Amino acid sequence: MTGNGQGNGRNDSVGTSYVKVDAWERVTGRAEYAADVRTPNALHAKVLRSPHPHAIIKSIDVSRAEQLSGVKAIITSKDFPSMDELKDSFGGELMVNARDLRRMVLADDKVLFDGHGVAAVAATSLEIAEAALDLITVEYEILPVINSTADALKPDAPLLHPDVYTKTLKETPDKPSNLASYVESGWGDVDKGFAEAAVIVERSFDSMMVHQGYLEPQACTARWDNEVCTVWTSTQGTFNGQRMVSTLLQVPLHQVNFVPTEIGGGFGGKIYTLVEPIAMLLARKAGRPVKFVMDRSEVFRATGPGSPQQSTVKVGARKDGTIVAAQGSLVMDAGAFPGAPVAGASMVTFGPYKMEHFKLEAYDVVTNKPRVQAYRAPGGTPAAFGVEVVMDEIAEKLGMDPLEFRKINAVSEGDPSTNGRPLPKVGLKEVLGQVEGSPHWNAPLEGENRGRGLALGFWNGAVAMSSATINVNVDGTVEVVSGHVDLTGTRTTMTQMAADMLQLPPERVSARVTDTASGTYTDVTGGSRTVYTQSQAIYNACESVLNEMKALAADQLKLNEDDIEYADGAFSAKGNPETTLSWDELAGRSRTRGNGPISGYGTSGRLKGAPAFAAHLADVEVDPDTGKVKILRYTCFQDVGKAINPAMVEGQIQGGAVQGLGWALSEYYHYEDGKLRNPTLLDYRMLTALDLPMIDTEIVEVPADDSPYGARGVGEVPIIPPAAAVESAIYRAVGVRMTQLPMTPERVFWALHDDGSEQ
Amino acid sequence: MQPFDYAAPPTLEEALQILSQASGLVRPIAGGTDLIAQIKERRIAPSLVLNVKEIAEANVLDYDPGQGLRIGAAVSCSDVASYAPVAAHYPSLAQACLLVGSTQIQNRGSVGGNVCNAAPSADTVPPLLTYDAVAVIAGPGGSRRVPLEDFFQGPGKTALQPQELLIEVLLPPPLPNSNSRYLRFIPREEMDIAVAGVGSMVAVDPQTNTCTRARIALASVAPTPIRAKEAERRLEGSPLTEEAIREAGELAASACSPISDIRGSAAYRKELVKVLTRRTLSQSLPR
Amino acid sequence: MKVPVRFSVNGDDRDLYIGAHKTLMEVLRDDLELTGTKEGCGNGNCGACTINLDGKAVNACLILGVEADGHEVQTIEGVSEDGTLHPLQQAFIEESALQCGFCTPGFIMSAKVFLEQNPSPSEQEIRTAIAGNLCRCTGYDKIVRAIQAAAKLA
C-alpha cells in the first residue's frame, strides 16, 4: 500500500496526543521493570571484572570462592558450549557475530577492556556473591594497551585479535591487523571537483566514547523449569535476544522464552544479550532461578557504549554556493571487537547535501575499550558534527547566510542519497522553509558573547520486520498483540492506529507486548522505524479482521460480502442502511460461528526506507572567563511524515536533542591508559534540568511514500544536529572553532586563551 | 554493601564509650551521603557505623549575636541554609550549603560530614574558613577546639583521632560591614564536584572605605581546602578597587597547587581561581 | 548484624528486622516489595530512588534502613490516595512528561515535596528542585511543564 498521509479510517484517533496507555502504571510506581521481577528462591549474581584493559588470562582459580557458604554456582567462559566458528551474526542495529558476543559477555583467553567479565557467581545474597568475587584468583599476563584508533593503526601496534583481517570490498590482506574493515562510498571524481571549487574548507575532528545513559541498568532473571528457560529481561528485542542466547548456549529456540519487562530506556544499548547468558548459565548450574542486575559502574564499563570517531571533512563550493565536491574520512572506534557503525555513519555523513563529486572512507578499528553498541543514530552525531561545522564555515567564507547555503544544496526527491540510490519523497526543503519562517530564526539575538547556530541532520530510516495480531473480543473490544517491545509509546501508537483503522474509539482498544512464546515475531525495536513498519503490520492485520467481520456480517444478513460496507462501527447493506449489524453485535455472534472469535495477523512486508531530516537552531552564551557554554534557546525542526501522536513525537525530539547536547558539551568516557576513570553518573555528566531551557519543536509533515500514514521514524534524527548547532553558535558568540567533542568548558577556555602552551 | 555493625547512641558519653571500646574501623554517620557511597564503592570497610544523629549536641543550630553560630555536626546542609540567621549573617555559607550535590543530598548531608569527609572540593569549607570557624571535637579526655584551618591534613585526612568525634562547628559573629560570597565552577549547574571553588569574605570601614579584613579560601585546588593569605593581605588596609581585586585573584592563583585530574587540568584550575576570586570579591562588597 | 526497626511507610507502621548494612532502598524494595522506588545508580547521582523522609526529598540509596527507625517514609506507592491520582501524577500523564518512566517516581517525589514548600514556583525554581533527578528520555521540557501544570491545579 502507498502512503497517503490520511490513514484508512477517519483519523480521529491518529494525529492526536492520545495519552500514553501505560502512563498510569508509571506514575504510580506499578510498572514492572527487570529489576522489579521477583521469583521465589532466586539467587543473586555478581560478575568479576578485569581491572586490566588488555591481558592474557593465564589461570582462574575459583576453588576458594566455591567454599564460601551461600555460593551456589560459579561460571567462566568455559561454561559456554565451545564455538569454533563465528556462528550467526545478529543485527538489531549493529551486527555482531555469536563468538564475539559470547566473548563480550565473558572473556575467553584474553581480557580486552577494563571491566571485561571474567567469572560470575550466584549466591544466596548479593553480599555473599560480592565476597565470593574477592576469593577468585585470576592470574593475568599484562599486555600493552591500545588506547585509541591512532595507537591501533600504528604499523607495529600489538594486535587485539590474531584472526582479524581487514575486510574490504577488494582483496583481503595477508596479515591480521586492528583495522577490521574499510568501506568506501561516493561518486564522481573529488579531485576534479575540488579543482573547480572557489572555496575549500578542510578540517579534522575528534570525539570520545559516550554512553546511551539509559536510567535503568541492565537486569534480568532466568529460571529453568526442567529444559525450558524463562528469561525476564529489559531488552529492545525479545526475539533477537532469544536467538542470541539460543546460539550462545546451544539451546533450541522453543526452550527459551524471553519475557520483556518494562524497559527503562535503551537508545540502542539494550540489543545485545550481555546479562541474560550469565543468569541462564548460573541458573542452570545452580538449579535455581538467578537474578542479575548490573550496577551503574558495570553499565559504564561493560555494556556497549557509543563509538568515538576521528574524522576529516573537506568540502569545496562554487561562488554561487553549490557544493562541487565533498570528501570525508571517518576512523571509528569499535572497542574490543569489530563492528563500529561504519554503515550508518557513512550514510548519515553528507546526507542532507547535493554533491557533484563525493567520496567517503570509513574505518572500523578495534581498541581496548568495551565493544560499542548502537547509540541513537549510530555513528551519526560525530560524523555530522564535522560536516556541519565545515558547511557553516564554507557559508561564512562565501559570505552567505548558513540557512541560504543549506537551501541551495538541500537534497530532494530523486537526488542520489549517500548510498547512491535516489531518494524517495523527503521533506528537507520544507524543514528549511519552516526554519526560515520560524519565530526563533527571526528573533534578534542581542548581548555580548552570544551566538546562534544552525545544523542539519539526516537519518535514512531503518526498515525491519514488524507484526501484530488483532483479536476482537466477543464484547467488541479489541486487543492488539505484538512482540514489539515498547520503548517510548509503541502500545499507545498501536492503540491509536488500530482504533483509527477499525473506526472504533481508542478506549475500546488495548495493546499488549508479549513474550516470545506467545507473541508475534518482530525484529528489534530501534532504528527509528517501529511506528513506520508497525503501522503497515497493523493495517494488514486490521484489513484481515475487517474482511472476516464482513464475511460474518454477510452470512448473518444473508447477503454477499461485496454488498456489505463498514463505517463507524456498523456493517450495513450497501444502499440499504436499515439492514445493519453493529460491530459489537457481530463480535458477539462470532463466538458461535464455529471458528470462534475473529482475529487477524499482519506483517510489515517489505517497505522502502522513509528518510527523515531535521534542522536545529541553538542560541548560546559563552562565559569567556571560564569557557562555559549556556544554552539560551533551542528549537528542533523535523519532518516526521505524519505525527501519529504529536506530544509523543515532540517528547522524542526533545529527548534526542538533549542527548545530543550532552554529547556536545559534557559527556565522555575518560580513559587513562585504558582504565575508565568516570564510571559514575557524577563524573559522566548527563545534562540536568538546570542546564537546559525549554526545547521547542516545530513538526513538519511531508508524508513518506510507503506505509498507511506516511509516518517517518522520529527517534534518531534529533541527536544528530545538536553538537554542530552548538559549535556554530559558539563560533558566532566568541569567534573560535571547536573541533573536539565534547566542547567542555576547559576546551572552550583554552580555545579562547591558548597561548601555545596548553591544550 | 558488606555487613557491618551499627549503633545509634542517644548521648555523647555513650558514643564516646562505643568509640573507645571498638576494635576495627568505626565510622560515624550523620547524613551518610559520602560514607555510604564510599562503603558501596569499597573504598572503606568499617566494622561499625555509628549514627550520631541521636546525640543532642550534634543537632544544635543556634545563632547568638555575641557568640556567633553553632552548627551541630549532624545538622543537614538544607537546615543550615534555611536557618534565617545564616542567610543574614553568613551568606556564603548558605550559598555553599545549597550547592552540595542536589536537593536530595542537601536534605541529608551535613555540614559536619562535609568537614569530616575532608575532600579538597568540600563546598561548605571555604565559607567556614573565611569565617574563622572552629571545630569542637569530643574525645575520651573531654573536648578540644581546633581552628578549622588546622583541621585538614590531606585528602580525607583530619585532625580527628580514632576515638574522637566532631560535635560542632563554631563561627564567630560576623564583622560589621562585612559580606561574603561562595562560587564554585562545575561543568554542569548542579550535581557535580567543584573543579575549583572560592569563598571570599570582606569587611570594610565605611568611613575610609578600606578593607579591614579579607578572607579568601579555595576548594579543589590543593590537597586540602586552603586560605589564600597573600591575597587577603593585598586587600586588607586598601580600598577594594578593581585593580586590588584583580591582583588578589592573581595572588590566590599562586597560592594554590592543583592537580590535573578527570575534572580539570592544573592550569585551568588556576585560571578558574583567578576568575572566581575576582567574582566572589566583587560580589561580597558590603551593601 | 540485624537490627529491629519500626517506621511508618505510606501511613502504615512497619516492624522489621534488617541487616544494618541494608540501604533504605533495599529495605523498601526487597523487604516491603515497594518496587516503585528505582535504583539508577546507587550513589545519589540520579535521583531515581527519591523518597519523602519526614517531609524532605532524599535518596533512599544513601540512607541505611536502620536510620529510618522512628521516622516517616512516603514512597511513590503512597502518593495517590484511595485510587485517586495526585495532581502531579495526573499532570505527568496529561503533559506526556514520561517516556520509559523509570525516572518518573523519583521526579514525582521530588516535585511533590517541592510544591508543598513552594506552591507557585518559577521555571528556574522548578529546574533547581529537580536537578538531582536525571531523565534521559524527555529532555525535561515536558516534566517542567507538568510540574507547572500541577502547581496550577493544586
Residue A679 has pLDDT above 70, yes or no: yes
Do A597 and A613 belong together in one domain? no
Do A570 and A486 belong together in one domain? yes
CA–CA separation, B108 vs B46, rounded Å? 20
Residues in CB range of A437: below 8 A, 6 or more apart? none
pLDDT at residue A526 in the model: 83
Do B232 and B164 belong together in one domain? no
Domain presence at residue A292? no
Residue B67 contacts C, CB cutoff 8 Å: no
Return the closest-CA partner of residue B55 out of B31, B70, B73, B82: B73
Q: What is the pLDDT of residues A580-589, one digit of tens each?
A: 999 999 999 9
Q: What is the pLDDT of residues C101-140, one digit of tens each?
A: 999 999 999 999 999 999 999 999 999 999 999 999 999 9
Q: Which of B36, B191, B192, B260 to mutate to test the interface with A (most CBs of A within 10 A)?
A: B191
User: Rounded to a whole number, what is the distance in Å from the CA of C42 to chain B's nearest CA?
Assistant: 8
Return the closest-CA partner of residue A324 out of A158, A203, A197, A233: A197
Domain presence at residue A254? no
| A718: Cα separation from own chain's centroid | 12
Are C63 and B191 inside 8 Å of each other by CB? no
Domains of chain C: 2-77 (3.10.20.30), 87-153 (1.10.150.120)
pLDDT at residue A756 in the model: 54
Domain count, chain A: 2
Q: How far apart are the first and last CA of chain B?
A: 50
Select the residue of B3, B51, B108 nearest C21 (Cβ to Cβ).
Answer: B3
The enclosing domain of B91 has a CATH number of 3.30.465.10
pLDDT at residue B94 in the model: 98
pLDDT at residue A755 in the model: 64
Q: Which residue of A has its CA nearest to C132?
A: A688
Q: Which residue(s) pair with A75 in the sheet?
A: A120
Domain-terminating residue out of A603, A626, A651:
A603
Mean pLDDT confidence for A312-337? 98
CA–CA separation, A107 vs A113, rounded Å? 10
pLDDT at residue A88 in the model: 75
Do B27 and B80 belong together in one domain? no
Cis, peptide link before residue A742, omega less than 30° from 0: yes
Residue C36 contacts A, CB cutoff 8 Å: yes
Domain that holds residue B150: 56-171
Grid cell listed for C25:
532502598
Residue A4 has pLDDT above 60, yes or no: no
Residue A667 contacts C, CB cutoff 8 Å: no
Do B12 and B35 belong together in one domain? yes
**B 174-233 residues with CB < 8 A to C:** 189-191
Do A688 and A733 belong together in one domain? yes
Do A508 and A575 belong together in one domain? yes
Domain presence at residue A223? no
Q: Which residues of C touch A680 (CB under 8 A)?
A: 41, 43, 45
Question: Residue A717 phi/psi, 5° resolution?
Answer: -50, -40
Residue A19 contacts C, CB cutoff 8 Å: yes
Domain presence at residue A696? yes
Q: In this structure, how many other beta carbons lie within 10 angstroms of the beta carbon of residue A342?
A: 30
pLDDT at residue C102 in the model: 98
Domain count, chain B: 3
CA–CA separation, A469 vs A600, rounded Å? 6
The enclosing domain of A702 has a CATH number of 3.30.365.10
Do B144 and B196 belong together in one domain? no
Do A631 and A729 belong together in one domain? yes
| E strands present in chain C | 2-9, 12-19, 50-53, 56-59, 72-74
For this complex, say whether ipTM is above 0.90: yes
CA–CA separation, A379 vs A308, rounded Å? 8
Do A619 and A748 belong together in one domain? yes
Give exposure, A679-701, as e/b (b: 16+ Cβ within 10 Å).
bbbbbbbbbbbbbbbbbbbbbbb
Select the residue of C35, C41, C77 nearest A680 (Cβ to Cβ).
Answer: C41
Do A440 and A478 belong together in one domain? no
Do A479 and A543 belong together in one domain? yes
Q: What is the pLDDT of residues C37-62, one digit of tens each?
A: 999 999 999 999 999 999 999 999 99
pLDDT at residue A168 in the model: 87
Do B84 and B142 belong together in one domain? yes
Domain-terminating residue out of A577, A603, A629:
A603
Grid cell listed for A555:
452470512
Q: Which of C96, C122, C148 to mutate to test the interface with A (most CBs of A within 10 A)?
A: C96
Are B190 and A758 inside 8 Å of each other by CB? no
Q: Is the pTM of this model over 0.95?
A: yes
Q: Which residues of C touch B33 (CB under 8 A)?
A: 44, 59, 62
Decide: A44 and A129 in contact? Cβ < 8 Å: yes
Decide: B35 and B49 in contact? Cβ < 8 Å: yes
Residue A3 has pLDDT above 60, yes or no: no
Length of chain B as a residue count: 287
Domain that holds residue A559: 23-31+464-603
Query: Among residues of chain A, what percentage have pLDDT more than 70?
Result: 97
CA–CA separation, A144 vs A53, rounded Å? 9
User: Rounded to a whole number, what is the distance in Å from the CA of C154 to chain B's nearest CA?
Assistant: 22
pLDDT band at residue A558 under the 50/70/90 scheme: very high
pLDDT at residue C27 in the model: 98
Return the partners of chain A (3 or more C-beta pairs < 8 Å). B, C
Do A631 and A752 belong together in one domain? yes
pLDDT band at residue A1 under the 50/70/90 scheme: very low
Do B155 and B187 belong together in one domain? no
Are C142 and A654 inside 8 Å of each other by CB? yes
Grid cell listed for B120:
579538597
Q: What is the pLDDT of residues C23-43, one digit of tens each?
A: 999 999 999 999 999 999 999
**A 101-130 residues with CB < 8 A to C:** 127
pLDDT at residue A8 in the model: 46
Do A742 and A654 belong together in one domain? yes
Instruction: Dihedral sign for Cα A489, A490, A491, A494, please.
Output: positive
The enclosing domain of B277 has a CATH number of 3.30.390.50
Q: Tell me, what amino acid is at C81?
A: E
Q: What is the pLDDT of residues A147-174, one digit of tens each?
A: 999 999 999 999 999 999 999 877 788 8
pLDDT at residue A169 in the model: 73
Mean pLDDT confidence for B83-98? 98
Decide: A607 and A705 in contact? Cβ < 8 Å: no
Distances from the Cα of A162 to the Cα of A159, A426, A557, angstroms: 6, 45, 73
User: Rounded to a whole number, what is the distance in Å from the CA of C85 to chain B's nearest CA?
Assistant: 24
Do B63 and B141 belong together in one domain? yes
Do A534 and A425 belong together in one domain? no
Domain presence at residue A543? yes
Domain-terminating residue out of A568, A603, A638:
A603
Residue B287 has pLDDT above 90, yes or no: no
Domain presence at residue A407? no
Residue B238 has pLDDT above 70, yes or no: yes
Q: Which residues of C touch B107 (CB under 8 A)?
A: 53, 56-58
Angle at C58 between CA C53 and CA C61, to 5 degrees: 110
- β-pairing, A671-672 with A675-676? antiparallel
Q: What is the pLDDT of residues A453-510, one digit of tens each?
A: 999 999 988 888 999 999 999 999 999 999 999 998 999 999 999 999 999 999 999 9
pLDDT band at residue A11 under the 50/70/90 scheme: low
DSSP state of C76: G
Do A446 and A480 belong together in one domain? no
- DSSP assignments along A372-422, one per residue: P---SSTTHHHHHHHHHHHHHHHHHHTT--HHHHHHHHB--TTSBPTTSSB
Distances from the Cα of A569 to the Cα of A182, A479, A502, angstroms: 57, 16, 8
Are C137 and A31 inside 8 Å of each other by CB? no
Q: Which residues of B touch C52 (CB under 8 A)?
A: none
pLDDT at residue A293 in the model: 98
Select the residue of A23, A216, A262 nearest C40 (Cβ to Cβ).
Answer: A216
